[in-house]
Structure 1
Amino acid sequence: MTHKTWLITGAGRGLGAQLAQTVLAAGDNVVVTARDSEAARAAFTAHTDRLSIYVPFMARPSLQLKVSALTWRAI
């Protein structure tokens, strides 16, 4: 049996988390993105051997402020 690998965004909670849990329960692999790594880890307690969690660096508020300041600086 061939297992698929899914990329699911917004999987830290809500619909994204539910979809990822359903896919994991079906036996497929999942890569999820979430803004909050702790919420994402808490959402997934089973099938963690087939799960990868990615938190984009822009999801961290301190980095958002720094990037925003760089973006809006007058040249």
Structure 2
Amino acid sequence: MYVCNCNGLNRRSVNQAIADGARTTAAVFRDLDCRPQCGKCVGEVKALITACRHRDACGNAAACATQAPHFLVAAE
């Protein structure tokens, strides 16, 4: 599933950047050699970072790169 259509970033690549140590949206994009274009993906990248931090706190950091977080998306 794509997280950022502008840069062609999928959830796996974003999660891998987070697992490799990126802890901010800017760090994720920097690690993936790009930057946000339209900004629509920023909220989802933040949610992925938050989910990884939660798994870190729960002692399941290995799950960061492989599992998708569960979060609600508001209807437009």
Normalising by structure 2, report the TM-score: 0.30
The higher radius of gyration belongs to 1
Structure with the higher fraction of residues in strand conformation: 1
Q: Considering Cα pairs closer than 8 Å and 6+ residues apart, tell me whether 1 or 2 has the greater RCO.
A: 2
